[in-house]
């Protein structure tokens, strides 16, 4: 706190005395008044409970600076009170949130700062200060008002951001954060700006006041708000110094010093209103870039720990970003996917994924999902979900999220197989057979033949050899049924000694298969233990699916054919439209 009070007092006195000496005749107002900016910067940095002491220290500094440079009058006391009053008003009007983030942190903060510190506060001070000038020194009210207003507004706008950045350590922090090359670049740009100012203000023959704008904008673009504020301070100091020594482009204006001062104020105001918005925009972009960089790093860290892979596409179907577990999922490096079209993606990954993304781009549907097997990782099952990206209410692309669900699918398949599989024989149980039969009928794209099979006189096997042997017989018969059919056919145990086969072939082919199976069962014992060998036979009834048949009608037709075999002595094969065929 003591340091802040010393800064308020000594800094105010020094700046006040310097600016009065260099830009005023001791009676009128200075061209630029940055002394109030010192106190304003301290007020914005310190708690409100310290404001009265800081304002008092600034007032004392004002009295000292005026006493050293002006003839003593009671108006000097009033000047100090008015200066501190307008400084207090500016600090109160500036949003504290904007002050904590930075006076020029973004467009909103910059606009608030320009309105409060550049318009309202100095206007109120100019009104009161001009009255004091009229009463104390006989200065005309209107010229005095304009000179007070412009000098104090420029002082606030130029000085407050600079002093606040100095006092809160922003310049030193910026210097520490930069790399050696960045520090060299900043120093070189400041030297370049100073060199341009020296060329412009050390001569009085060429009206080249436009030149500092180029180097100032370069500072704003490369160094942001801190560079722009420092650059404007340097312009103000160079112009004031040139005016004190009566040199520089301003003296080319063949009018009174008052007109020259007004011109220089307008000049400073112009470059200030150009540089500060540019600096605010640059700072906003830099902060936005830093936030995006941080968010990208966070997202990459999240994705590195996540099981997902992520792809984004623009409306043209071109991949713009790829990250996450894509290398493990697709067998492709993320960078190799960026820039690829949907056609290229289809060849590299899966037609299913490309079609999914194309559909989302065309329809704008949210949360589409599908499973697919990537080209580069056969045996892997990925689940893709696609969401729509929007910018300003309009679709701008889609994001596809991929997750490896191979293990989940394997567990689901195992659970389904467990529910649908007969515990004893390992073929489909009644529920499983019927659940596979229904979709096969619905989407049949070729002939289908249902075979219903009974083990002949199986009760006698159980009665003679026991149920344990009977179970072994059923297991062996199921194995021979499976061996005699193709992998695309369905084999099931409907219950007890009843079996069924759904052949995906025509009726003659299915019949021959059943005859071979029946012969294989009849000719070789279906159970052996030592000298014991158990023989068995089967009866088969076949029916071919016809367009329009229901599942019940197909079963009834096959059952009628099976009944015909049983009725005529068993151990044979019969079709729904044939007479039984005996197998000797």
Catalytic (active-site) positions: 497
Cα–Cα distance between 517 and 167 in angstroms, integer?
A: 97
Alpha helices in 340-405 (DSSP H): 342-348, 351-363
Taking the mean position of all CA atoms in its chain, how far away is CA 499? Answer: 58
Encoding tokens for residue 441? Answer: 């009928």
Cα–Cα distance between 372 and 370 in angstroms, integer?
A: 7
Strands 308-314 and 394-404: antiparallel
Q: Give yes or no for a contact between 185 and 128, defined as CB atoms under 8 angstroms apart.
A: no
Beta partners for residue 387, in sequence order: 399
With CA atoms as reference, report the closest residue to 437 among 545, 551, 548. 551
* C-beta neighbour count of 171 within 10 angstroms: 17
CA distances from 187 to 192, 193, 290, 355 (A): 9, 10, 23, 56
Rg (CA), the chain: 46
445 φ/ψ angles, rounded to the nearest 5 degrees: -120, 20
Strands 572-575 and 538-544: parallel
Alpha helices in 421-550 (DSSP H): 430-442, 458-465, 467-483, 507-523
With CA atoms as reference, report the closest residue to 540 among 472, 450, 431. 450
432 φ/ψ angles, rounded to the nearest 5 degrees: -65, -40
Taking the mean position of all CA atoms in its chain, how far away is CA 275? Answer: 32
* C-beta neighbour count of 158 within 10 angstroms: 27
Token pair 């009974």 is found at 454
Cα–Cα distance between 508 and 232 in angstroms, integer?
A: 98
Q: What is the phi-psi region of residue 472: left when phi exceeds 0, alpha when psi lies from -120 to 50, beta otherwise?
A: alpha
Q: Identify the three-state secondary structure at position 347.
A: helix
Cα–Cα distance between 152 and 159 in angstroms, integer?
A: 10
Angle at alpha carbon of residue 570, lines to 566 and 576, rounded to 5°: 55
With CA atoms as reference, report the closest residue to 517 among 477, 541, 484, 565. 484
Angle at alpha carbon of residue 13, lines to 216 and 269, rounded to 5°: 30
Contacts of 352 by beta carbon, 8 Å cutoff, 6+ apart: 370, 371, 372, 384
With CA atoms as reference, report the closest residue to 361 among 388, 341, 384. 388
Contacts of 171 by beta carbon, 8 Å cutoff, 6+ apart: 165, 226, 230
């Amino acid at each position: 706190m003591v340091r802040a009070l010393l800064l308020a007092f000594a800094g105010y006195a020094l700046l006040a005395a310097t600016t009065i000496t260099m830009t005023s005749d001791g009676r009128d107002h200075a061209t630029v008044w940055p002394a109030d900016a010192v106190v304003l910067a301290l007020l914005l940095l310190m708690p409100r409970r310290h404001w009265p002491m800081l304002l008092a220290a600034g007032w004392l500094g004002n009295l000292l600076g005026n006493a050293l440079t002006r003839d003593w009058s009671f108006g000097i006391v009033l000047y100090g009170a008015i200066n501190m009053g307008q400084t207090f008003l500016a600090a109160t009007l500036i949003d504290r949130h904007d002050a904590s983030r930075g006076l020029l942190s973004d467009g909103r903060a910059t606009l608030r700062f320009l309105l409060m510190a550049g318009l309202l506060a100095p206007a109120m001070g100019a009104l009161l200060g001009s009255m004091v000038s009229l009463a104390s020194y006989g200065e005309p009210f209107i010229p005095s008002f304009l000179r007070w207003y412009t000098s104090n507004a420029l002082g606030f706008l130029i000085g407050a951001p600079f002093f606040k950045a100095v006092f809160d350590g922003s310049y030193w922090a910026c210097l520490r954060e930069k790399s050696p090359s960045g520090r060299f670049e900043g120093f070189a740009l400041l030297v370049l700006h100073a060199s341009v100012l020296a060329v412009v203000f050390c001569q009085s023959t060429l009206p080249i006041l436009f030149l500092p704008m180029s180097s100032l904008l370069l500072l704003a673009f490369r160094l942001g708000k801190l560079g722009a504020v420092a650059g404007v301070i340097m312009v103000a100091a160079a112009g004031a110094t040139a005016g004190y020594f009566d040199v520089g482009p301003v003296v080319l204006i063949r009018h009174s010093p008052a007109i020259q001062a007004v011109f220089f104020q307008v000049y400073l105001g112009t470059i200030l209103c150009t540089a500060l918005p540019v600096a605010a925009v640059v700072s906003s972009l830099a902060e936005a870039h830093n936030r995006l960089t941080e968010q990208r790093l966070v997202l990459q860290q999240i994705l590195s720990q996540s099981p997902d892979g992520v792809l984004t596409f623009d409306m043209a179907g071109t991949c713009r970003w790829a990250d996450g577990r894509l290398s493990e999922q697709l067998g492709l490096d993320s960078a190799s996917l960026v820039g690829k079209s949907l056609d290229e993606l289809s060849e590299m990954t899966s037609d299913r994924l490309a079609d999914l993304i194309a559909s989302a781009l065309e329809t704008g549907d949210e949360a589409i999902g599908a499973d697919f097997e990537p080209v580069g990782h056969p045996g892997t099952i990925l689940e893709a979900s696609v969401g729509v990206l929007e910018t300003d209410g309009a679709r701008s692309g889609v994001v596809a999220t991929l997750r490896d669900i191979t293990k989940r699918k394997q567990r689901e398949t195992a659970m389904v197989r467990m529910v649908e599989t007969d515990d004893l024989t390992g073929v489909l149980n009644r529920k499983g057979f019927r659940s596979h039969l229904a979709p096969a009928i619905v989407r049949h794209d070729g002939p289908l033949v249902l075979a219903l099979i009974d083990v002949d006189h199986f009760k006698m096997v159980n009665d003679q050899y026991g149920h344990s042997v009977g179970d072994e017989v059923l297991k062996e018969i199921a194995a021979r049924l499976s061996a005699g059919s193709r992998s695309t056919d369905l084999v099931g145990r409907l219950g007890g000694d009843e079996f069924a086969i759904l052949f995906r072939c025509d009726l003659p082919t299915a019949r021959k298969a059943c005859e071979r199976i029946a012969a294989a069962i009849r000719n070789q014992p279906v159970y052996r233990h030592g000298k014991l060998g158990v023989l068995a036979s089967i009866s088969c009834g076949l029916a071919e699916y016809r367009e329009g048949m229901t599942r019940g009608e197909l079963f009834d037709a096959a059952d009628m054919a099976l009944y015909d075999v049983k009725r005529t002595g068993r151990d044979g094969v019969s079709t729904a439209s044939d007479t039984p065929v005996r197998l000797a």
